[in-house]
Structure 1
């Protein structure tokens, strides 16, 4: 049966009249418009294993802009010319997928020589979603999560959650979940603090079968937070489910005044969620359609409306507001759930707003004052007027007016006769079992300045924090009398401290850097380092010369691995825990050339997503490496490698590359690193196609041994002759790791 789907695309333009109390030019105010973007795409709905991911780019100035788009986990790098008169679509690689919890290869980077407005869209069958990425200059380090409960069926549990993506600075994360969340073998509840360190351009994904709305994310550096649900019914129990996702604005950009307009052609109305980051938050409605509510920190309230109503309300503290379309069977029998962030009136765009209509988009304009009506609205410099057949007033009262209109395909400029009018544009559309919505553009000014809360430092004067791959120590300078960079060092003096607050300094060391020492005892691994105080700060009041600190772990994942690093392509790692080997992480990495160095630790934080990571690609080269990160001395042996047409390593349709540690012919070469036996390079001249497939996936079966076992079991050699039982005794379990897809030329 063939179903013909007709999709109507609409735009909502919200216009508010307010007094601008400063003379700041619009271009100087942080907003969703920018020239540098880094974000992660959350796990999406899998429809017969295929989904289409794409970005839409619009030039803000109306002039042609050159943009570079790159993604993690592949050699995808596109340089495009964005025309000034229309929107440009760029399809992202199918390999940009992420399922489950952990470090993921789901990062997109966009860099341009001019300002852009960017939107992301995903389609999987009839399911779809869209969101507006925020430029790196508008990111923050405090977020509250807004999402919806994922669908649970008899045989299927969908997931919902969020991705946190670092820029080139990396970030230390502290997360409080609103529900119990499992990470590795550990459960974290609402009163626990989950700590994690992200390297440059790394992305951490947290997924759960619960509603994680109200979870709080804080970091020491700006990060991007995108929430997503693989499939949610809105409201709960109303068919059908759809993919939801949206990038969260930082807490410091949240406001207190809001207007919410109904969706055009959605007579079943909508669902509204209000999430409070702070205690003692009162929501006060000026509309009779909703009752006032009181919320405390990280709580949320859901409103399910059954009438086509326009709302205006204010809050006593900043809040996050999310609007949802209802499901297909809510009464409209078109469309499906979608989620959109509703920015506050304080963040509406001032002045003329440029946008691109793709296909006769509908536009809804809301005006907050009856003195500024439809007669003042201008489209492409022309007054619209009340008698225009393409525009009509939906609601008009003392609080606001709601107007609907239509824009022909192409680029448009919307403005108003009042130069101080503020606009908010929200794009949305519906189709058969499909719906999507996203804010087109809004300001991201700092509206909230948090009160400076002094860090709690114990009476000892120091506090140690343990993360997945690093640890830090925070010092009270009044106790230790340290003030300058030369007053205190770690084992490695080149690892400098960072002042994070007046009177407080922090020193951070990765587990494999700054001369950190590793000691094993039973099933636990201890990482330790030492503060060394300079002679001139050692006094009778502060007599310490040395201060040792440590972190201990017995859970999987303590030694994280960077999924996005310089000059290479790397899949998600296999992270596990072994009673003898300790915590380890294995991955099969594809490099863009053979200049990858000898150790995986060479490509650490600070790499340029748009530079060495993707440059220097040579046609025909296929350079890989088995990469082991371990908390103890270990070695790796590559037993076999093969390719399959799909990601399933058990696929019967295979082509062998390595067997029993032996290259099958002289087109394969297994290298070695004298500096690091945990790094095993593999070169493949060319891949053979399998059937009619134009891409393959590569898999390797590897063995990991303790350093002292390596001489007996784990050296890399060709093992054509079968080994006897005495030789095999004590050999560790084999692990299978994969990468792909790899294009076959």
Structure 2
């Protein structure tokens, strides 16, 4: 099956797109969506680096103190956050957290946890953020919420949220506008919550924003009883792809496979030996299998794909989590360094996806994988290795530094019935890139995200929203072009000032 490639090109008169963007960077801003007990969850950061020298890190909560620490290549900097980092309810929030690496590059994973609930997300640096997103979530249990946070980098950021039709009808019955519009100052957050699944909602903004999505508590699977918190940071639409390899989690082979494919455009065709379907903007396709399936699929338009762990009763292990599935177009090359925390679950794993022609070159902490040290499944094109790992900092690499691969890190606990899962690393190259790099070259971001505080009049925007219209056949085509022009103007102004 041929891979469908993005043939769009950049006009020679425009500013060149940075094709080295990834999850590695120097400046981050995140806002944790509410966990299932919004008054008791604890949020934390796990920070790692592949730098050969120590990196000084500052973490600033929106209205709280600044934490500092040092991270080196063989350690994890774990920083617990205060209750200020807890987002609560729908509406404007001051719960964001800024992470700055002062003299090097870092990778950041956010954790939100309770005694019986945990999940994590891979954070994306400020210069990898976008202004167009599609939401991945899940159906919450009664009295819980599907949710996402939107956090601004720049002041006076205008944000429009357009919901799927079922959500729009529900909002109208509650006396709200069908869709949502609000303005954020730098560092300010808006949390959207709904008792219905918010998946396939669209977020479009006038300047780059951070979007983190999930659900306070959801059950995944048939005839299961336990629910868990799920969360992931959403990649911008212009970094999504069309070619994917998926497999059931090696660490839970009896749990089955659950993936969700979310459209960004009308007429999106999904094709493979296992799946054949067409979906449209504001729609998604769920694939569920009770066996340890692995297969390739392609789509005619860029899509967002997530994978879920199932609830405890599906195999008497773990609980739900949600992980982004990286498209092959965004597989990193070189190496991926990531932390595994010791305090959340008892069993930790990685799944590694690589072209079958190059499967023998994968290394974990400098040791080549083979059938004696790891499990292995194959598709028509790819090999997916699975390996149990210990707490601490790990590095996955290939003996050929130009071979792309993807790593998902996940784990679970059978006693407390909780689980987590997220990408260990990913490229975030924009569509139209014509450059291939083997490392992320990220420049320091000097924006003072918290320089402007929230204004009180913004608290009324939930009842003062306006409808956003997107072109369903090519979502945000004219609107996104205008926004991108605005963003590049702001970048040029910042450079020449």
Q: 2:152 aligns with which of 161, 166, 182?
A: 166
Counterpart in the other structure of 1:201: 187
The structure that has the greater radius of gyration is 1
Alpha-carbon distance in 2 for matches of 1:357, 1:228: 21
- Residues 626-662 of structure 1: CA distance to partner in whole angstroms, max 9, x if unpaired? xxxxxxxxxxxxxxxxxxxxxxxxxxxxxxxxxxxxx
What is the Cα deviation at residue 406 of structure 1? 4.1
What is the Cα deviation at residue 259 of structure 1? 1.1
Kept in 1, the 8 Å contact 2:325–2:423? The answer is yes
Number of equivalent positions: 422
Equivalent residues in 2 for 1:32-43, closer than 5 Å: 32-43=23-34
Whether 1:377 aligns to 2:362 is: yes
Counterpart in the other structure of 2:476: none
Q: 2:255 aligns with which of 263, 268, 272?
A: 268
Kept in 2, the 8 Å contact 1:63–1:83? The answer is yes
CA gap of 1:308–1:238, structure 2 versus 1, over 3 A, is same
Equivalent position SS for 1:115? coil
Kept in 1, the 8 Å contact 2:48–2:393? The answer is no
Equivalent residues in 2 for 1:109-508, closer than 5 Å: 109-113=98-102, 114-152=104-142, 157-178=143-164, 179-180=167-168, 182=171, 186-189=175-178, 193-235=179-221, 238-266=224-252, 267-286=254-273, 290-330=274-314, 332-358=315-341, 361-369=348-356, 371-374=357-360, 376-386=361-371, 389-392=372-375, 394-396=376-378, 398-407=380-389, 409-431=391-413, 432=415, 433-447=417-431
Quote the RMSD (CA, aligned, Å).
2.9
Equivalent position SS for 1:271? strand
Whether 1:89 aligns to 2:78 is: yes
What is the Cα deviation at residue 572 of structure 1? 11
Equivalent position SS for 2:147? strand
Alpha-carbon distance in 2 for matches of 1:206, 1:242: 19
What is the Cα deviation at residue 201 of structure 1? 1.2
Kept in 2, the 8 Å contact 1:105–1:571? The answer is no
Counterpart in the other structure of 2:66: 77
Alpha-carbon distance in 1 for matches of 2:311, 2:370: 35
Deviates more, 1:259-268 or 1:84-93: 259-268
Kept in 1, the 8 Å contact 2:271–2:298? The answer is yes
Greater RCO (Cα-Cα under 8 Å, separation 6 or more): 2
Higher strand share: 1
Alpha-carbon distance in 1 for matches of 2:172, 2:367: 57
CA gap of 1:203–1:85, structure 2 versus 1, over 3 A, is same
What is the Cα deviation at residue 571 of structure 1? 10
Kept in 2, the 8 Å contact 1:33–1:60? The answer is no
Counterpart in the other structure of 1:58: 48
Equivalent position SS for 2:26? strand
CA gap of 1:298–1:327, structure 2 versus 1, over 3 A, is same
What is the Cα deviation at residue 170 of structure 1? 3.8
Kept in 2, the 8 Å contact 1:107–1:201? The answer is yes
Alpha-carbon distance in 2 for matches of 1:194, 1:574: 13
What is the Cα deviation at residue 404 of structure 1? 2.5
What is the Cα deviation at residue 268 of structure 1? 1.6
Kept in 1, the 8 Å contact 2:186–2:452? The answer is no
Alpha-carbon distance in 2 for matches of 1:574, 1:313: 44
CA gap of 1:358–1:146, structure 2 versus 1, over 3 A, is closer
Equivalent residues in 2 for 1:322-721, closer than 5 Å: 322-330=306-314, 332-358=315-341, 361-369=348-356, 371-374=357-360, 376-386=361-371, 389-392=372-375, 394-396=376-378, 398-407=380-389, 409-431=391-413, 432=415, 433-447=417-431, 566=451
Alpha-carbon distance in 1 for matches of 2:340, 2:145: 33
CA gap of 1:413–1:97, structure 2 versus 1, over 3 A, is closer
Kept in 2, the 8 Å contact 1:251–1:448? The answer is no
Counterpart in the other structure of 1:472: none
Alpha-carbon distance in 1 for matches of 2:193, 2:292: 34
- Residues 107-143 of structure 1: CA distance to partner in whole angstroms, max 9, x if unpaired? 0110112111100111122111111111110000001
CA gap of 1:222–1:46, structure 2 versus 1, over 3 A, is same
Alpha-carbon distance in 2 for matches of 1:419, 1:575: 52
Q: Show structure 2 runs of 5+ residues with no match.
A: 6-17, 434-448, 465-497
What is the Cα deviation at residue 343 of structure 1? 1.3
Alpha-carbon distance in 1 for matches of 2:199, 2:239: 18
Alpha-carbon distance in 2 for matches of 1:380, 1:55: 23
Alpha-carbon distance in 2 for matches of 1:128, 1:68: 24
Alpha-carbon distance in 2 for matches of 1:243, 1:62: 35
Kept in 1, the 8 Å contact 2:294–2:379? The answer is no
Alpha-carbon distance in 1 for matches of 2:432, 2:175: 34
CA gap of 1:234–1:62, structure 2 versus 1, over 3 A, is farther
Alpha-carbon distance in 1 for matches of 2:422, 2:149: 18
What is the Cα deviation at residue 385 of structure 1? 4.6
CA gap of 1:236–1:69, structure 2 versus 1, over 3 A, is farther
Higher helix share: 2
What is the Cα deviation at residue 570 of structure 1? 9.6
Counterpart in the other structure of 1:46: 37
Counterpart in the other structure of 1:522: none
Kept in 1, the 8 Å contact 2:261–2:286? The answer is yes
Whether 1:68 aligns to 2:51 is: no
* TM-score, normalising length: structure 1: 0.53
What is the Cα deviation at residue 185 of structure 1? 7.3
Kept in 2, the 8 Å contact 1:62–1:85? The answer is no
Equivalent position SS for 2:329? helix
